Amino acid sequence: MNVEGPQPGYELIRPRRVVAGPLEARFRLRPGERPLVGPGEAVVRGAPLAERIRDPRTAVVASAGGASAKPGSWWTAAPGRRSRGDGAEQGELLFRSGGRWRIAAGDPAQPLEAPFGGIVRDVQPGTGLTLRTPARGLLGLDVLAGPSTGHLHVLAGRDGHVRASQIDVGAAGAILVVGSHVDAEAITRARAVGVRGIVVAGLGVKERREVVASEQRSQAGAHGLPPFAILVLEGAIGRPIASPFMAVLEVLEGRMVAIIDEPACLAIEDPDLELPRPAPLLVRVTAGPLAGFEGSWAGLAGRHRFAGNVLLEAGLVRFGGRAPVAVPLGDLERFV
């Protein structure tokens, strides 16, 4: 990319952060899921953070430990006694009404494991827990399912489109980078062969519904599938992965990474790994006929008339060796 020096107006473009850290990762807990760690506790990757449940339900108990009982605490039935109704033997206290306690219970499922090492900062039963870690995160827009960990494998380039036939059992345990778009059949195939996650630029509404339904079936099953997650970098429209993001993903090839949903990112546990920085004056078009294209900032263009006779503040962007093109400032993003 040809950069001739500082150009005025670059700071007016909306910034987009590529990598953030250190992270404070939050993991959601449903009522009835029991935390296994406390604030200030150090954990390593793979350590159990909480007991997950499937088929969550509520039950009524007549006694819950007397005056010391409070919402959020854990209740276990005394030997020989069970709750009224579905026979739950333990659960999280929710609220008291008419001298009885309502508890959240469910059948044991796979535990929630720490995707990286860190220090437990906060635990709120029935809500979530926060893990502070020196790990950094490649920031995305959204995460479906998760958390999940695996070795990163770049299966397709930044503008690739992966189909089911390209995924085989050799990808079991990996997190796959699949380019701009992946179809529902490929996601189902990946889940079936043991892939732990997918990183993709865009994911359509149909594919999102398929993932949600698959996760619900997995959680309801007596023998759940391994953890799985999808990190969506852009949104619902399949566009090439931005080059600063792709450069980081290529450096991470073969390394252990994790997908988490708060914040939505690909977590990089090695704090000493040098990651590539965005090229100077790089901009990307986010809307309009040039959406997804990248170029170099060439300065302000002032007010410019666009399609529909709309007058907007614009900037000049040079795509390759062509003459600069005027693009609305609101349709541009820069990377930091």
Q: What is the pLDDT of residues 219-271, one digit of tens each?
A: 655 556 678 999 999 988 878 999 999 999 999 999 999 999 999 999 999 88
For the chain, how are helix, strand and coil distributed in percent, rounded to 5?
Answer: 15, 45, 40
- CA 187/CA 198 separation, integer angstroms: 8
Q: Could you say which of 268, 303, 327 is where a domain stops?
A: 268
Residues 185 and 242 in one domain: yes
pLDDT over 90 (residue 11): yes
Angle between helices 205-220 and 184-193 (to 10 degrees): 30
Choice among 23-32, 99-108, 244-253 with the minimum mean pLDDT: 99-108
The answer as to whether 83 is a domain residue is: yes
The answer as to whether 91 is a domain residue is: yes
How does pLDDT run across 117-167, given as a tens digit for each residue? 999 999 998 889 999 999 999 999 999 987 999 999 999 999 999 999 999
The answer as to whether 4 is a domain residue is: no
Residues 129 and 85 in one domain: no
How does pLDDT run across 295-318, given as a tens digit for each residue? 999 999 999 999 888 999 999 999
Residues 312 and 219 in one domain: no
- CA 286/CA 234 separation, integer angstroms: 10
The answer to whether the CB of 24 falls within 8 A of the CB of 132 is yes
Identify which has the larger pLDDT, 213 or 171: 171
Residue 140: per-residue pLDDT: 96
Residue 218: per-residue pLDDT: 66
Q: Which pLDDT band, with edges at 50, 70 and 90, does 57 fall under?
A: confident
Q: Cα–Cα distances in Å, from 83 out to 32, 86, 98, 100, 199?
A: 15, 7, 15, 10, 44
The answer to whether the CB of 207 falls within 8 A of the CB of 215 is no
Tell me what the pLDDT averaged over the chain comes to.
88
Q: Which pLDDT band, with edges at 50, 70 and 90, does 64 fall under?
A: low
Give the bridge partners for 300, in sequence order: 315
The answer as to whether 102 is a domain residue is: yes
Residue-by-residue DSSP string for 21-75: -SEEEEEE--TTPEE---TT-EE-TT-EEEE-EEEEEEEEES-SSGGG--TT-EE
The answer to whether the CB of 131 falls within 8 A of the CB of 43 is yes
Mean pLDDT computed over 322-335: 94
Mean pLDDT computed over 206-224: 71
Q: What residues make up the domain containing 71?
A: 53-108
Can you read off the two tokens belonging to residue 78? Answer: 């005394």
pLDDT over 50 (residue 3): no
State how many domains the chain has: 3
The answer as to whether 9 is a domain residue is: no
User: Would you call 240 helix, strand, or coil by DSSP?
Assistant: coil
Can you read off the two tokens belonging to residue 334? Answer: 């820069």
- Percent of the chain, pLDDT > 70? 91
Residues 223 and 291 in one domain: no
Q: Which pLDDT band, with edges at 50, 70 and 90, does 85 fall under?
A: very low
Residue 65: per-residue pLDDT: 60
pLDDT over 70 (residue 80): no
Q: Which pLDDT band, with edges at 50, 70 and 90, does 282 fall under?
A: very high
Residues 295 and 186 in one domain: no
Residues 227 and 242 in one domain: yes
The answer as to whether 3 is a domain residue is: no
The answer as to whether 153 is a domain residue is: yes
Q: Could you say which of 91, 108, 125 is where a domain stops?
A: 108
Residues 129 and 103 in one domain: no
Residues 131 and 254 in one domain: yes
Residues 326 and 294 in one domain: yes
The answer for residues whose C-beta is within 8 angstroms of residue 294's C-beta and 6 or more apart is 242, 243, 282, 283, 284, 285, 319
Residues 122 and 99 in one domain: no
Choice among 167-176, 219-228, 275-284 with the minimum mean pLDDT: 219-228
Read off φ and ψ for residue 334, nearest 5 degrees. Answer: -120, 160
For residue 329, give the CATH number of its domain: 2.30.30
Q: Could you say which of 222, 243, 268 is where a domain stops?
A: 268
Residue 12: per-residue pLDDT: 93
pLDDT over 90 (residue 16): yes
The answer as to whether 10 is a domain residue is: no
Residues 313 and 256 in one domain: no
Mean pLDDT computed over 112-116: 93
Residues 128 and 180 in one domain: yes
